[in-house]
Structure 1
Amino acid sequence: MFGISGAEAIVLIVVALLVIGPERLPEYAQKLKDLVKSVRRYASGAKDDLRETLGPEVTDVDWRKLDPRQYDPRTIVRDALAEVDQEDAAERRRREREEREAAREARKAEREAERENAPAAGGSTAATETSTLVRITPGQRAPFDTEAT
Structure 2
Amino acid sequence: MFNDIGGLELVALVILAVLIFGPDKLPKVIQDAARFIRKIREFSENAKQDIRSELGPEFKDFEFEDLNPKAFIRKQLDQNEELKELKELRSSFDFKKEVNEVADAVNGTEPDAPVSAAAPGSSSSTGPDLLKKRVTLEKDERPPFDADAT
User: For the superposition of Structure 1 and Structure 2, which TM-score range results when normalised by the shorter chain?
Assistant: 0.3 to 0.5
Bigger radius of gyration = 1
Higher RCO, Cα 8 Å, sep 6+: 2
TM-score of the superposed pair, with normalisation by structure 2: 0.40
